[in-house]
Amino acid sequence: MHIAMYPWFAFGHITPFLHLSNKLAQRGHRVSFLIPPKTESKMRHLNLFPDLITFYPITFPLVDGLPSGAETTNDVPFSLISHIMTAMDKTQAEIQLLLRDLKPDFVLFDFAYWIPKLARPLGIISLHYSIVCPAATACHAAPSSHLHSLKGRRASEADIMKPPPGYPDSSIYLHLHEARDHLTMTTLKLGGVPLFDRLFMSLSECEAIAVKGCREIDGPFVDYLKEEFGKPLPLTGPLIPDLPTSPLEQRWVDFLGRFKPGSVIYCCFGSEVILTKGQFQELVLGLELSGFAFLAALRTPVGAESIDEALPDGFSERVGGRGVVHGGWIQQLRILKHPSIGCIVTHCGWGTLLEALIMSKGQLVLIPNRGDQIHNARLMANTFKAGVEVEKGEEDGLFTRESVCKAIKTVMEEDNEVGKGVRANRAKLRELISREEFDSSHIDGFIHELRTLLK
């Protein structure tokens, strides 16, 4: 089979599309990966099958207001992300020509809602590839969701706080500050099209919805989405990438090697989350207050020039050799695999959560930031009771150093009764989804469903 890929211009989307490409190429299938030109060079090292996965650099359109050289959301502040989407929408004519010339059997996309109308006349099957947790998609993007089903009026905060009719899990809900932020996102226009309208059109117009998930975690939400949209939902499984061949950097080997197994906190907030300086300081002060050794991989916060400048006064001297706050790229899979890691403080990105569940035995402390991260956190903390969510203010949504410390101690202190239950549930969940054949069986099943769509 021949599959084309066209992900949203964000590393958090491009990377899982490429992980799926590698899994498909490993089984002999050909992949044409459509990608902005400068971004291609940054992703080339993740292409494990260059004989079968071909990058096709597309012309990045000029858009007023975008800085020269910007191609992805990583290159611009949040205020300019809409311009990146405008650029993507302006590639329609080039994508149409590429699809006509390449003649793939399938094209997988996410935010480019116009792909199905280009693909259909060419006899190409289009699949929306959802890299977020199905619980989030089911809550806010399905036809029965409050954003689409309320006739004649705009959804209110009270509407958004509760799940839609028929939603399979009442323990997944939004707090007031989350509902307020969510309503703000409904008015956010990306390339002139509201975000949730774009997502809804993408899901509605495609022939099938591919989902990064598995029945063991996502079963009820997959069934709900299948009923809501009335189309196939092939599952790719968690798609954890293979460990890189390069060993862990010596500085991290030396640092982590000084501590007992299961005694270090790894704090990671992904490539997209940028905290305010105040919340950044509360987070690192919470790590310090816990008394445990820690390694934090965070982006420089808003309003600061560097990580060092953003750290609280006297922080580096106080934590000495037991704590590091790192602002650059880090070998996350290798870090998660290290035996010293006993706790993972995470922003709850779906990819990071799945990696943490499968690659590490560390306990989960959950600090969702926005969007689907909230549903991911509730799924782990409320549905599976396999992690502890950090308490935030109901009105302002802010966490404190004390709430961060409390959550860490809950999962890390052996005599904590709540922690005992969480650790047991976390171990059960890991055992369920980390079997050696788990990932490969899902990919094989996904390929079988693609073949079925071709018939």
**Residues assigned a catalytic role:** 13, 110
Q: Where are the alpha helices (DSSP H) in 257-380?
A: 277-290, 307-310, 315-319, 332-337, 350-359, 372-378
Q: Cα separations (Å) of 387 from 233, 244, 412, 451?
A: 28, 27, 11, 38
Give the Cβ contact number of residue 312 at 10 Å.
15
Residues in Cβ contact with 385 at an 8 Å cutoff, skipping those fewer than 6 apart = 421, 422, 425
- CA-CA distance, 374 to 392, in Å (whole number)? 12
Chain center to CA of 257 = 29
- Comparing CA positions, the residue from 168, 187, 191 lying closest to residue 66 is 191
- Comparing CA positions, the residue from 98, 16, 109 lying closest to residue 59 is 98
- Comparing CA positions, the residue from 269, 437, 235 lying closest to residue 353 is 269
Terminal Cα-to-Cα distance of the chain (whole angstroms): 13
Query: CA dihedral in degrees (270, 275, 277, 282; nearest 10)?
Result: -80
Give DSSP secondary structure letters for 241-282: PPPPSSPPPHHHHHHHTTS-TT-EEEEE-TTT---BHHHHHH
- CA-CA distance, 453 to 123, in Å (whole number)? 12
Secondary structure string (H, E, C) spanning 196-229 = HHHHHHHHHHCCEEEECCCHHHHHHHHHHHHHHH
Do residues 72 and 84 touch, judged by C-beta distance below 8 A?
A: yes
- CA-CA distance, 244 to 236, in Å (whole number)? 21
3-state secondary structure of 47: coil
4: part of which helix (H) or strand (E)? strand 2-6
Do residues 46 and 23 touch, judged by C-beta distance below 8 A?
A: no
> CA-based angle 16:182:155, to the nearest 5?
130
> CA-based angle 248:253:256, to the nearest 5?
125
Do residues 278 and 310 touch, judged by C-beta distance below 8 A?
A: no
Token pair listed for 240: 């954890």
